[in-house]
Amino acid sequence: MKRKASPSSFSGDPPPAASPTTIDSFCDDVIAEFLVRLPSVPSLARAACAVKRWRRVASSPAFLRRFHALHPGQAQPLLGHYYYTECSSRPVFQPAQPTFSDPELSAVVRHGDFFLTPVTSMGRLEVEDCHQGRLLLRNCDTNELTVFDPVARRVLAKLTPPRHDNKRVFHHNSGSFLIPGCVGDQAASSSSFRVVTMQRCTTVIYASGGDQRLDMERLAVYDSSTSAWSARPWTNTGDIDMPLPLKVKRYSAMHAPGRICWKRLRGGSPNSLVSLDAETMGFPEVVPPPGVLLGPSYAVGDTDDGSMCLVNMEERGTTRLVMLSKKKWHLRVWLLGKSGCGGRAWVLDQEQEASLTTSTEDAADMLWDYDQACRVVAVNAGVVLMCLHSPRRLNDRYIAFRLSNLQVVASFSASEPVFQYQMPWPPVLLPTA
């Protein structure tokens, strides 16, 4: 007797379905090949923010070096500005114009947290500094510092600066700033940073001949690679040339390659320029180019390719009421290069009469009374931020434009101080746990 064949034994039955192949099925090397071929920094950030595994692959130093080599000369995208307002307990974010028209930039802003949701419960916050895609926030009640990455939506560090051992000493911080990780440190990468706090304290020495007041100062530095503070010994005020506390916020710190610069205030106006060397932690003097007056019409920063530059802008014409798009400016740009004697000297790189135009200005923005002073606030990665201050208006007018083509990328009204937020190069993409 023959057995009957089971239904599954017929040759006409279809084979079992194979599992579908997705991009997650590939190994990290293949995913890196996909990511490295993305056309721009915003597209890489958008992709890396979508999946944790992709962000880990795109965060490796080897990948970032390769991406940088395949995409040379890209400018850092300007995503917007942070500024202070009395109506809010946290800084306000003002998106730049390209974020509305560029789908890649819009996606980065939408995916990120630029309204600082994780730190809303920390009390009233002010921006102390903004650099390399990170915000340094200060709690106005506790003076605690928070380093926050809006693109990655992560709190990177919560810091309490060290204080003087004597609790009865009057102690205060003159300012805190972000700088890159230690130069030459193999552990330092695009994800490392340092926080520098300038500290001052005052103590009273009681003596029979009369009380004496002693003022001291020092630097305290937090390194993210070690997660620890290191503080220099207290020194009598005047032994080191630290910048004096700035009572006027409009003259805030300016980031330049390897250093931070300040316009020192004496007599209510800036009449000298001092800097902090990020490698030696000294305060060398920066001498501006000949013919540039130490005033609000210039700022020190860096160009698209990372060269240290000084931008000076002066108004042309005496018309009291003009169209903003027809206003003429005398623009001069110096680069810090090497002189023949082995030192460093300023070299005039650009000088021209320029007018700043933008297609997104409305009628109210285009008509502006020019009895106010022009102030160059900052120059970051080739983007110049200038301010038009008028005593008649409650808020100042801010304009941001690129040095390469004089294209306006932001135009808004705000109260000072204002901080530019640019996506850094190479991108700071921190892997999530």
In a domain, 301, yes or no: yes
Least confident of 35-39, 381-385, 428-432: 428-432
pLDDT of 327 reads 66
In a domain, 36, yes or no: no
Q: Provide the 3-class DSSP secondary structure of residue 227.
A: coil
Sign, CA dihedral 198-199-200-206, equals negative
pLDDT of 380 reads 92
DSSP character at residue 120: G
CB 256 within 8 A of CB 275: yes
DSSP character at residue 118: G
Tokens found for residue 340:
């023949």
In a domain, 427, yes or no: no
Least confident of 247-251, 370-374, 402-406: 247-251
In a domain, 281, yes or no: yes
pLDDT of 249 reads 47
In a domain, 18, yes or no: no
Q: Provide the 3-class DSSP secondary structure of residue 76.
A: coil
43-52, 244-253, 272-281: range with highest mean pLDDT: 272-281
Per cent of the chain over pLDDT 90 is: 15
The answer, yes or no, to whether residue 154 has pLDDT greater than 60, is yes
The answer, yes or no, to whether residue 377 has pLDDT greater than 70, is yes
CB 81 within 8 A of CB 417: no
Output 65 or 241, whichever has higher pLDDT.
65
At 70, phi and psi to the nearest 5? -85, -15
Q: Provide the 3-class DSSP secondary structure of residue 369.
A: strand
Tokens found for residue 344:
């460093």
Output 268 or 211, whichever has higher pLDDT.
211
The answer, yes or no, to whether residue 102 has pLDDT greater than 80, is yes
CB 47 within 8 A of CB 38: yes
The answer, yes or no, to whether residue 255 has pLDDT greater than 80, is yes
For residues 46-56, give the mean pLDDT: 79
What CATH number is given to the structural domain containing 352? 2.120.10
CA pair distance 340, 417, nearest whole angstrom: 39
Distances (CA, A) of 421 to 5, 275, 393: 73, 22, 25
CA pair distance 65, 69, nearest whole angstrom: 6
The answer, yes or no, to whether residue 285 has pLDDT greater than 60, is yes
The answer, yes or no, to whether residue 7 has pLDDT greater than 80, is no
pLDDT of 364 reads 40
Domain that holds residue 198: 72-181+192-318+327-422
Q: Tell me the pLDDT of the chain averaged across its residues.
A: 77
DSSP string, 330-368: EEEEEEEEE-TTSSEEEEEEEEEEEE---TT--HHHHEE
pLDDT confidence band for 178 (50 / 70 / 90): very high
Least confident of 76-85, 103-112, 198-207: 198-207
Output 10 or 85, whichever has higher pLDDT.
85
Per cent of the chain over pLDDT 70 is: 72
CB 302 within 8 A of CB 379: yes
**Cis, bond preceding 98 (omega within 30 deg of 0):** no
For residues 381-387, give the mean pLDDT: 91
Tokens found for residue 373:
């002073």
Tokens found for residue 163:
């204080």
Q: Which residue has the tokens 């597209």?
A: 43
pLDDT of 209 reads 64
In a domain, 252, yes or no: yes
CB 104 within 8 A of CB 40: yes
In a domain, 187, yes or no: no
| Number of domain units in the chain | 1
What pLDDT digit, counting tens, does each position of 341-357 carry?
345 788 898 888 877 65
pLDDT confidence band for 146 (50 / 70 / 90): very high
Q: Are strands 170-180 and 259-266 parallel, antiparallel or unpaired?
A: unpaired
The answer, yes or no, to whether residue 237 has pLDDT greater than 90, is no
For residues 361-365, give the mean pLDDT: 42
For residues 396-421, give the mean pLDDT: 88
Q: Is 106 left (phi over 0), alpha (psi -120 to 50) or beta?
A: alpha
Least confident of 3-7, 81-85, 386-390, 407-411: 3-7
E strands of 249-307, at which residues?
254-256, 259-266, 269-277, 298-302
In a domain, 16, yes or no: no
Output 86 or 387, whichever has higher pLDDT.
387
